[in-house]
Homo-oligomer: A and B are copies of this chain.
Amino acid sequence: MASNRRLPGVLRQFAEERDWQQFHTPKNLAMALAGEVGELLAELQWLTPEQAAAVMDEPEAGARVRAEIGDVMIYLTRLADVLGIDLEEAARAKLAEVAVRYPVEQAKGSAAKR
């Protein structure tokens, strides 16, 4: 797992070595992604907003949150790779659309979207 290789390729090889490509269909990976997001939510759900903002200062809870974020990123990267989508490009393309819909002056401080 040399860190100079890009993550999608690293994960693809990881799956191939274990014969897991058969399980890594778009629907299955989307379900796994949702499952990991659910585990991430579970780490935050009973915290107050203040506790959640400081969760990374708690060694044990912080490590769990980091691990769950890692899991979410693993499945999101894997799903995008299986679909032939570049994650960063998809995010930047979507952001460009959002920028048009929510120009700075009109969007300022409104939660209408995000």
By a beta-carbon cutoff of 8 Å, the part of chain A in contact with chain B is 1, 3, 7, 10-11, 14, 17-20, 22-28, 30-42, 44-47, 49, 52-53, 55-56, 65-67, 69-74, 76-77, 79-80, 83-85, 87-88, 90-99, 102, 104, 107-111, 114
Contacts and interface: CB of A to CB of B under 8 A. Distances in A.
24 contacts: A1-B96, A3-B92, A10-B92, A18-B109, A20-B111, A25-B49, A27-B27, A31-B45, A34-B38, A37-B38, A38-B39, A39-B39, A46-B114, A65-B85, A69-B79, A69-B80, A69-B87, A70-B95, A72-B76, A73-B76, A73-B88, A73-B94, A74-B94, A77-B91
Contacts of A11: 95
A10 B22 CA distance: 36
